[in-house]
């Protein structure tokens, strides 16, 4: 199984999108500063994820979330549900 995940930080509410096989391990790595892009804005929390059978399916969804329409979708589900 592969996961597309969305992280958020409390510093500036920035969102980070990624793909992994192990959500817990990946979040821990982000919060330990092991990834250059996310190390400056710790701590991170998982605010959304989806599960897929293959890497290609998860990667396709990740690319959608990085597009304009995908960012709008995330805004609706993440910020309108508060």
List pLDDT tens digits, range 20-74.
999 999 999 999 999 888 888 899 999 999 999 999 999 999 999 999 999 999 9
Residues 2-29, buried b or exposed e (16+ Cβ, 10 A)?
bbbbbbbbeeeeebbbbbbeeeeebbeb
- Which pLDDT value is given to residue 35? 86
Q: Is a pLDDT exceeding 70 seen at residue 82? A: no
Query: E-strand spans in the chain?
Result: 2-9, 15-20, 44-52
The answer to whether the CB of 5 falls within 8 A of the CB of 17 is yes
CATH of domain 2-79: 3.40.1440.10
Q: Is a pLDDT exceeding 90 seen at residue 79? A: no
Q: Is a pLDDT exceeding 80 seen at residue 80? A: no
Q: Which residue has the higher pLDDT, 11 or 82?
A: 11
Query: Does the pTM of the predicted model rise above 0.85?
Result: yes
């Amino acid at each position: 199984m592969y996961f597309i995940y969305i992280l958020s930080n409390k510093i500036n509410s920035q969102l980070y999108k990624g793909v992994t096989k192990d959500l817990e391990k990946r979040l821990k790595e982000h919060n330990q500063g092991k990834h250059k892009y996310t190390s400056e804005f710790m701590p991170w929390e998982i605010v959304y994820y989806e599960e897929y059978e293959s890497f290609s399916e998860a990667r396709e969804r990740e690319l959608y979330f990085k597009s304009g329409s995908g960012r709008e979708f995330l805004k609706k589900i993440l910020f309108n549900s508060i």
